[in-house]
Structure 1
């Protein structure tokens, strides 16, 4: 396990003049490193065993990958993060996107959980780049079970405005206070009669506020009807979705209905 915490002067993890080989790390947690701008770059050997990545309170973080460094690699590292099962990001206010074209979404097919909260400038989850933005693509995360997006006031898209994300294993979707998000780009197959089918494993969708859900735009008119039976509209802020720093009440802070 790689664990870096409470290092306020840390600006980079590894120098670009050296390559670090890590062939046994299964979990990486980096938190409270206020000057850190990037996590991984070309000098960091692909973590072929990494399963869990946790990034918290990295107030200067601009990218999970060093985009300029990765652009120099030819071919792009096909195995980067391939075993990754879960990624958690919290209170990284300079981070504007999670995955980019250079992140090679196709290498994240084992990803099961994405949990992002309290990132003030997060605009996109999957950034496709200027050329791909104009295409209607079907992206796939076949093992994704849980997607949590909380307190992302600048979030405008999950994967562009016209592409769709196929998540046949999706069980839980939680979207709290992402009021700039106008579209949920889940791939919902259409029957001959025009009816949309929800993901086969879907069990629940938690939403706050309800007014946001009612304002969403849909690619097909029946998509809202297909997802509505799974929705739970939170009438008020339960303790587990309150913004960081607000009193959480008597219940345990680490409990969650989708944990």
Structure 2
């Protein structure tokens, strides 16, 4: 893999920092970047597989919903110590208006890891899941305000799908998420993860149940590790086995 590593540079103004044949990049302490949309040269990259962003205090979202083409081959997304990160995909309301995102959006993504991003409250919008058919791992650590991993962004009179599936999701690791209320709390759309093998939840004081409405993971689950869940009332949402 051709990996580009950059520290303390103005990647918004530097035209040659990311060659078109790059397959991955790790940027650290590049304070000027608000999102990947601002990064010079990204649109010319055709085979990006790894995106790692660390300590870039200006980053508010990873990418906007109209700028997703360069990420269609992305396999791993790593976000660390981003104190102003609000969402992964910005301008998500545009997804609702357009109904569909560009073909191939996040279709290769296998792993999302978020560490010490203390402002983000929700990780993945429900309407994005149809594009994440190869997602295998979600790992979220020490993100104090994270309330929900998958959140329903269908509002008002919008018709939500009856069922969505993450067919390859195997691992969910959630540690030190003190505001976490649920992995998924939607009731209109059933979320199916029928390859799920491992769940770890540690130090999450607000979560009341582990599994969500309409889904029973027990046939495939091999490893369940729970600790310091002070408000846990039940393993299952009250309707999960209905």
Q: What secondary structure sits across from 2:225 in the alignment? A: strand
Q: 1:108 deviation in Å?
A: 0.3
Are positions 1:201 and 2:201 aligned together?
A: no
Alignment equivalent of 1:168, drawn from 178, 194, 211: 194
Q: Tell me what 1:150 maps to.
A: 175
Shift of 1:70: 4.0
Larger strand proportion, structure 1 or 2?
A: 2
Give the counterpart of 1:116 among 118, 122, 140: 140
Provide Cα deviations, 1:135-158, integer angstroms capped at 9, x if missing partner: 795432111111011111111222
**Match of residue 35 from structure 1:** 58
Q: 1:120 and 1:211 mapped to 2: Cα distance?
A: 16
The worse-fitting range, judged by mean Cα deviation, of 119-128 and 37-46 is: 37-46
- Distance of aligned partners of 1:179 and 1:20 in 2 relative to their CA distance in 1, 3 Å threshold: same
2:238 is the counterpart of 1:219: yes
**1:21 to partner: Cα distance:** 3.5
Taking structure 1 as the reference length, the TM-score comes to: 0.71
- Check the 8 A contact 2:184/2:212 in 1, yes or no: no
Picking from 79, 82, 85, the partner of 1:61 is 85
Deviations 1:60-93 (A, max 9, x none): 0111111258447564224211110010001111
How big is the shift at 1:184?
2.4
Q: Which residue is equivalent to 1:13?
A: 36
Cα distance in 2 for partners of 1:27, 1:36 equals 17
Deviation at 1:98, TM superposition (A): 0.8
Rounded Cα–Cα distance in structure 2 between residues aligned with 1:88 and 1:206? 18
Query: What does 1:172-191 correspond to in 2, within 5 Å?
Result: 172-186=198-212
1:91 matched to 2:110: no
> Residues 70, 2 of structure 1: CA spacing in aligned structure 2 closer, same or farther, 3 A cutoff?
farther
Q: Which runs of 5+ in 2 are unaligned?
A: 1-23
Determine the C-alpha separation between the residues in 2 that align with 1:147 and 1:19: 30
| Distance in 2 between residues matched to 1:75 and 1:136, nearest whole Å | 13
TM-score by length of 2: 0.75
Deviation at 1:33, TM superposition (A): 0.6
**Partner SS for 1:14:** helix
Find the counterpart in structure 1 of residue 21 from structure 2: none
Structure 1 residue runs of 5 or longer lacking an equivalent are 190-196, 224-259
CA distance in 2 between counterparts of 1:178 and 1:134 reads 32
> In 1, distance between residues paired with 2:191 and 2:68?
29
**1:12 CA drift (Å):** 3.4
Higher mean C-alpha displacement, 12-21 vs 39-48: 12-21
